[in-house]
Structure 1
């Protein structure tokens, strides 16, 4: 399914098939590119622009296989997904970029950041990774090949905006193939060892009650950067950012535009 011109908003260097701009900015001083979690979609970030500075444009990645791209097959290989997003971002390199990735999206954002830096010499303003173990601490869960019941139970344990939808048989049938494809991408992902260091500074965020990710897992993100690194632990579970979005995004905006 294609996106209408009205939904795309004013002209932008960003590919409208891959990126959604909830509040288009004609001359942004910075673009914040947000990468959703497994099973997640660009709409997860639709409210964030209200808490960002007016001259910061948010662009949420729309992975194939969901929302208005639901007719497309989900990408199940990390290298393919990161390559395609990095290519789609090339026209947007006229402005400073920062990335925010939540859960699976943190790994995708990191892989795209490495490609942008290696291929184009562009260093992001910052890479913000949320609720996802660093590359050196990732271990396959095997859930992508588990039964539907086991997979659904894991998704619902993590919470999030769509976990309750999986209680409804029709919605489960619609959503589960894409969720399973994302879990397969996660299970089969093998980061380079050791992970190449990038110049971009990294900020790691974690909920203090996350059932799958601990402080040590997040602190290890320091290994991927030659820039500065910071870790912040916030109240909440894997989706801590749902309840804390106003204060979190406001602080993130200040961080990205300071200096």
Structure 2
């Protein structure tokens, strides 16, 4: 945990003195720990921080956030406190939509992120995919199997299954308060996606280009919605290469 930042920020990086901070925003039902492997991939190039949403892991006793605007505001407050050096936002799935809103707010305050990495997500101007409106736990389980981001054997344990489904159910409920947004960021945006993602097409991923007045990039990986698993090294290279390319432009 970053000292003085309450319960929202976790530090996994091994480069506390790096010039850039990469702040990761988890997917629906996810936690900060998901991004731990990315810290090693970034090595000394950047310090990795990740947001821990209420209601999961060591915050399991706290109430879930059930309104997207509230999540944005509380995440923004946490990010603002660690923006004493240039920041990069990396959001996966729901986290990409959250990252977009946080980036927009930071820009309005004159704290523009170096770039937004939007991973595994439709752009904010499109409707949410149908799987975010499950009718029951059976459909939630089917969703987990479809997205292939959870070891389904873990769900054989009733207590673990209850925790996982509870967090996912709450986040989907919260996502339904998200409003479509056609805003355009000033900062660069890079979209990352898996070539076999069942809920985000490559055309969807390319649609993030409409949400930046700066540089846009698209990187397609082999894999499904959680293409990052097993490819953290490659993802880290994409981040460090992009930041290195943008840095001189921003400085100029």
2:178 is aligned with 1:189: yes
Determine the structure 2 residue equivalent to 1:241: 228
2:83 matched to which residue of 1?
93
In the alignment, the residues of structure 1 paired with residue 134 and residue 211 of structure 2 have an alpha-carbon distance, to the nearest angstrom, of: 29
Q: Say yes or no: does 1:139 pair with 2:104.
A: no
Cα distance change on mapping 1:164 and 1:217 into 2, 3 Å = farther
Structure 1 segment 111-126 matched on structure 2, within 5 A: 111-118=101-108, 120-126=109-115
- For the 8 Å contact 2:114–2:243, the answer to whether it is kept is yes
Q: Shift of the alpha carbon at 1:157?
A: 1.1
For the 8 Å contact 2:87–2:114, the answer to whether it is kept is: yes
- Quote the Cα distance in structure 1 between the aligned partners of 2:80 and 2:146: 37
Alpha-carbon distance, 1:254 to partner: 2.3
Shift of 1:15: 1.4
The residue aligned with 2:18 is: 28
Q: Which structure 1 residue ranges, 4+ long, deviate > 6 Å from structure 2?
A: none
TM-score, normalised by the number of residues in structure 2: 0.91
- The answer to whether the Cα contact below 8 Å between 1:140 and 1:186 also exists between their aligned partners in 2 is no
User: Would you say 1:179 and 2:163 are equivalent positions?
Assistant: no
User: Do the aligned partners of residues 133 and 68 (structure 1) sit closer, same or farther apart at CA in structure 2, a change above 3 Å counting?
Assistant: same
Contact 2:131 2:143 in 1 (8 A): no
Residue by residue over 1:199-226, the C-alpha shift from the partner in whole angstroms, topping out at 9 and shown as x without a partner, is: 1100001101101110111111111111
Aligned pair count? 246
Tell me what 2:237 maps to: 250
Aligned partner of residue 86 in structure 1, secondary structure? helix
Q: 1:217-236, aligned counterparts within 5 Å?
A: 217-236=204-223
Instruction: Note if contact 1:37-1:101 (Cα within 8 Å) is conserved in structure 2.
Output: yes
Q: Which sections of structure 1, spanning at least 5 residues, go unmatched? A: 1-7
CA shift digits 1:97-121 (9 cap, x unpaired)? 0011111111011111111111x11
Separation in 1 of the partners of 2:66 and 2:153?
A: 24
TM-score of the pair, normalised by structure 1? 0.89
1:94 counterpart SS class: coil
Choose which of 159, 167, 178 in structure 1 pairs with 2:148: 159
After TM superposition, give the deviation of residue 144 of structure 1 in Å: 4.0
Aligned equivalents of 1:48, 1:63: Cα separation in 2: 18
Unaligned runs of 5+ in 2: none
Secondary structure of the corresponding residue to residue 188 of structure 1: coil
